[in-house]
């Protein structure tokens, strides 16, 4: 498709945003891809394109972007380069999969559909092993100094760097979550996910769900077309990826996502369907990072690991000046804590992450994961736009965006019943360093209620109150339900 469009338009400098066969055929978690390897995953936006019969959007830039204050904008970029050292940044050196060994050590590497937190083949699928074996280049989004992306080649499996390389989420979802520890096979599966333009998290998660159903006899070989859907069977994961991408055979059912597939199967399959609001869980375990239980339950789009920084960062708060100090976060908060301090840390940092979404800022470049601190970001936005906003005003942008998304969901009929975790999160992790750790249901509900109250949402209905809407200067049209 990309090559065909370049030939048809006789222009190699076009940029193509497209969905793939999965989006055309209505797989509910189809994604959108930019230039074959930059993905807009989660929430099934590719299925929306497919439903609208929109295959691709092609653009060709002709003018450079111009900042209102060129010197100011350039000054911030120079500052970033001076304060950022690629050679010491694990995102650059090992990519997102460089965190696999520490997740394993912490006992929270999602394994066998979140039954376990420790995976015996963790090292084989890590970013460190990738760097030593199949990595051929460190890719990047346009002009990014961090360059966290991977490009891999496995000639014997026809895996080419044209489609980039696997991120952590993809390696864990198709890998440890399905019990697969073969990096080359995972690189092949990753390429298939790219070619069908599938969300790699949801695809791996729905295959892991199917594996557990198979283990319990809810799915059989006659359902799978003869495929042995057993943990660790890389060929089976590859075959299922094809079937889901093409929406053929059992892929029709699995392409509906775990929530709908479990409802269709019945016989207790719901117990193995790990999702929030119909979106499959990402590859981070809230039982070992308790703030994530709020992130997963409260994200407007269903389980999402990019709502706020993860808990280990909260352990590093102190009063001597740290990147999130301007928010008033100065007391360290333990990773397994789900008390009021954790709720506050999550609530405040969620606004930063929402601000990043609002200005198109990558979480791996901004603070606290990288060097661009909040004041510098504010200065940069002002230099580019010509505005004169303060950090306070910008954080309010993030809070307002979260509140507007909440209002949207309330209008669409979502209630606190949708702000819950799958039952497995309230059961103990099966093995590893945090064996037996769980999210206590009462503690979770108390934390959720406190969050509602902090956010100015009615604790019973979860709806933003009139007072909070007035404070955020949000007007609800009279026609909308009160
Ligand atoms: S750090 Fe962010 S912007 Fe840079 S290459 Fe990685 S994902 Fe892209």
State percent of the chain over pLDDT 90.
Answer: 95
Q: Give the pLDDT score at 481.
A: 53
Tokens of 408: 């949207």
Separation of CA 148 and ligand 1 centre (Å): 6
Q: What is the mean pLDDT of the chain?
A: 96
**Ligand 1 atom nearest 362 alpha carbon:** 2
Summarised one tens digit per residue, pLDDT across range 250-289 is: 999 999 999 999 999 999 999 999 999 999 999 999 999 9
The CA-atom distances, in angstroms, between 444 and each of 328, 336, 337, 341 are 24, 12, 11, 13
Reported for 360-368, long-range contacts at CB under 8 A and 24+ positions apart, including other chains, are 362/141, 362/144, 362/146, 363/306, 364/91, 364/146, 364/148, 365/80, 365/144, 365/145, 365/146, 367/323, 367/324, 368/309, 368/313, 368/316, 368/322, 368/323, 368/324
CB 206 within 8 A of CB 257: yes
Host H or E run for residue 406? helix 391-411
Report yes or no on whether pTM surpasses 0.75. Answer: yes
Summarised one tens digit per residue, pLDDT across range 59-106 is: 999 998 899 999 999 999 999 989 999 999 999 999 999 999 999 999
Distance CA 154, CA 158 (A): 6
Size (the chain), residues: 482
**Ligand 1 atom nearest 148 alpha carbon:** 6
Separation of CA 419 and ligand 1 centre (Å): 30
Separation of CA 226 and ligand 1 centre (Å): 41
What pLDDT band is residue 479 in, cutting at 50, 70 and 90? low
Q: What is the mean pLDDT of residues 15-40?
A: 97
Of 41, 144, 164, 377, which is best to mutate to test ligand 1, by the most ligand atoms within 8 angstroms of its C-beta? Answer: 144
**Ligand 1 atom nearest 363 alpha carbon:** 2
Summarised one tens digit per residue, pLDDT across range 363-373 is: 999 999 999 99
CB 122 within 8 A of CB 105: no
Q: What is the mean pLDDT of residues 423-438?
A: 98
Separation of CA 312 and ligand 1 centre (Å): 21
State percent of the chain over pLDDT 70.
Answer: 99
34 lines ligand 1 (CB under 6 A): no
146 lines ligand 1 (CB under 6 A): yes
148 lines ligand 1 (CB under 6 A): yes
Nearest in space to 187 (alpha carbons), one of 220, 147, 139, 155: 155
């Amino acid at each position: 498709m990309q090559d065909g469009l370049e030939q048809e338009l006789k222009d190699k400098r076009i940029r193509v945003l497209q969905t793939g066969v999965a989006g055309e055929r209505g797989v509910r978690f189809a994604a959108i891809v930019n230039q074959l390897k930059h993905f807009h995953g989660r929430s099934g936006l590719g299925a929306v394109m497919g439903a609208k019969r929109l295959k691709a959007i092609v653009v060709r830039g002709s003018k450079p972007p111009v900042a209102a204050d060129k010197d100011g904008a350039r000054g911030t970029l120079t500052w970033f380069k001076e304060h950022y050292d690629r050679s010491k940044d694990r995102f650059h050196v090992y990519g997102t999969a460089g965190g696999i060994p520490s997740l394993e050590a912490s006992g929270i590497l999602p394994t066998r559909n979140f039954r376990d937190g420790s995976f015996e083949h963790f090292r084989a699928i890590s970013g460190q092993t990738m760097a030593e074996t199949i990595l051929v280049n460190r890719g990047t989004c346009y002009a990014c100094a961090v360059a966290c992306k991977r490009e891999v080649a496995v000639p014997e499996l026809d895996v080419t760097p044209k489609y980039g390389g696997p991120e952590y989420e993809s390696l864990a979802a198709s890998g440890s979550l399905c019990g697969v520890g073969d990096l080359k096979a995972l690189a092949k599966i990753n390429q298939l996910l790219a070619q069908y333009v599938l969300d790699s998290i949801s695809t791996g998660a729905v295959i892991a769900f199917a594996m557990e159903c198979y283990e319990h006899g809810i799915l059989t070989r006659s359902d799978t077309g003869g495929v042995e859907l057993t943990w660790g069977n890389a060929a089976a994961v590859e075959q299922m990826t094809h079937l889901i991408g093409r929406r053929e055979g059992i892929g029709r059912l699995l392409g509906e996502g775990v929530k709908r597939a479990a409802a269709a199967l019945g016989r207790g399959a719901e117990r193995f369907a790990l999702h929030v609001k119909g979106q499959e869980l990402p590859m981070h375990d809230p039982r070992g990072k308790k703030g994530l239980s709020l992130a997963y339950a409260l994200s407007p789009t269903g389980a999402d690991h990019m709502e706020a920084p993860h808990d280990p960062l909260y352990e590093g708060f102190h009063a001597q000046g740290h990147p999130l100090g301007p928010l008033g976060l100065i007391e360290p908060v333990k990773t397994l804590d789900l008390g009021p301090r954790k709720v506050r840390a999550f609530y405040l940092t969620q606004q930063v992450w929402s601000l990043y979404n609002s200005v198109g800022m990558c979480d791996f470049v901004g603070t606290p994961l990288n060097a661009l601190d909040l004041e510098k970001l504010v200065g940069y936005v002002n230099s580019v736009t010509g505005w004169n906003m303060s950090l306070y005003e910008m954080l309010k942008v993030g809070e307002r965006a979260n509140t507007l998304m909440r209002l949207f969901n309330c209008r669409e009929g979502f209630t606190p019943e949708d702000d819950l975790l799958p039952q497995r999160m309230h059961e103990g992790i099966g093995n590893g360093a945090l064996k037996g750790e769980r999210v206590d249901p009462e503690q979770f509900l108390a934390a959720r209620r406190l969050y509602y109250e902090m956010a100015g949402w009615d604790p019973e209905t979860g709806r933003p109150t009139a007072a909070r809407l007035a404070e955020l200067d949000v007007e609800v049209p009279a026609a909308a339900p009160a």
